[in-house]
A = this chain, B = another copy of it.
Amino acid sequence: METKTRLLTAADIAKIIEMPDVLKAVETAFREYGLGKTIMPSKLYLELKQYNGDFRAMPAYVEKNAGVKWVSVFPDNPQKGLPTVMAMLILNNPETGFPLAIMDATQITSYRTGAAGGVAAKYLARPESKTLGLIGAGVQARTQLLALINYFQFERIYVWSMRKEDIDSFRASFKDLPIEGASIEKAAGCDIICTTTPARAFIVKREWIKDGAHINAIGADAPGKQELDPKILNNAKVVVDDIAQARHSGEINVAVKHGLFSESNIYSTLGEIVTGAKKGRLGNEITVFDSTGLAIQDIATARMLLEAARQKGVGHDFDVVG
């Protein structure tokens, strides 16, 4: 019986979070989801229009772990020296409700999103993929790359961003990798493409995408957001993390709303691919993974981190509840 709650700060998480571990936790979460063994109510929004921001409560149960992520999204924050997205997570024992840990979930959010892209590409991209195109060069592009290099040997990584300084700082973060700045067209012509921008009108054209390409569509995470020409969706095998979330706020949401893509054309969830219930890539087709981010990814990652923290003596224990 636990009696202490472990606090893991941002610095604690930074010490122990490793992408290979997150990939394993997230792949297991998608497998459990595909097997129908997870419980995940729809995200609950607290919208503060007067402050141009919102909070989301994301509860889930996966693999004998329960908890909630409480994440805020305030787009004006960078002007105030704060990140747009900040998150905390409470992890509980599902048998009693006892809170096992409270932790920073800002890094968890970016790592688990990268890991979803990694798992999707593992099952959907051609194994011999040699070129990677990153459209957008922020935090999400970094974690996509961190995940993908666990499965692919890239000969060339092309990065496009609206801001040249972002490309420079991106290259500086990965000195050992063959990264170069490129046009959006060149980045979109790669074997694997990751789109991680906040675009609200599509920026990736159909004719730039070659046969056999795999796209991780990461940026769209709210109604009205879109990065890909709807023609790409209609010419591709489209896999989503969760159908309801994808329809509401994923890459497909704008195309569905305008009648340019039908929900019935979704091929499967990533969970169904991971379990083998649905086949992954066939031949030279184009594949798209529409990622919205699931609470089960957060909870599974948090559990893995708590185990790592206990093994390595990281964090502090408190009698938080009484």
Q: What is A's interface to B at a CB cutoff of 8 Å?
A: 1, 7, 9-11, 13-14, 39, 41-42, 44-48, 51, 53, 55, 57, 59-61, 66, 68, 70, 72-74, 77, 80-82, 86-88, 90, 92, 94-99, 102-104, 106-107, 318-322
A41 partner, pick from B13, B45, B72, B73, beta carbons under 8 A: B45
A48 and B318 form a contact (CB under 8 A): no
9 of the cross-chain contacts (CB-CB < 8 Å) are A1-B81, A46-B61, A48-B94, A86-B97, A86-B98, A87-B321, A90-B90, A102-B320, A104-B322
A59 partner, pick from B13, B46, B60, B66, beta carbons under 8 A: B46
Residue of B nearest to A2 (CB): B82
Known contacts A11-B322, A320-B104, A322-B106; A48/B72 CB under 8 A: no
The distance from the CB of A13 to the nearest CB of chain B, in whole angstroms, is 7
B97 and A77 form a contact (CB under 8 A): yes
Known contacts A46-B39, A106-B321; A80/B96 CB under 8 A: yes
Residues of B within 8 A of A318 (CB): 7, 9
Given A11-B319, A39-B48, A74-B97, list of 14 further CB < 8 A pairs? A10-B319, A10-B320, A14-B322, A42-B44, A44-B59, A46-B66, A48-B94, A55-B66, A55-B68, A72-B97, A77-B97, A90-B90, A106-B322, A107-B322
The distance from the CB of A67 to the nearest CB of chain B, in whole angstroms, is 8
A9 and B320 form a contact (CB under 8 A): yes
Cα A102 to Cα B320 in complex, Å, equals 9
B55 and A74 form a contact (CB under 8 A): no
The distance from the CB of A118 to the nearest CB of chain B, in whole angstroms, is 22
Cα A86 to Cα B47 in complex, Å, equals 26
A9 partner, pick from B48, B103, B322, beta carbons under 8 A: B322
Residues of B within 8 A of A59 (CB): 44, 46, 55, 57, 70
B92 and A55 form a contact (CB under 8 A): yes
Residues of B within 8 A of A86 (CB): 97-99, 321
B320 and A88 form a contact (CB under 8 A): yes
Known contacts A57-B44, A66-B48, A92-B72; A7/B7 CB under 8 A: yes
Residues of B within 8 A of A106 (CB): 321-322
The distance from the CB of A205 to the nearest CB of chain B, in whole angstroms, is 35
Residues of B within 8 A of A95 (CB): 51, 53, 74
Residues of B within 8 A of A45 (CB): 41
Residue of B nearest to A85 (CB): B97
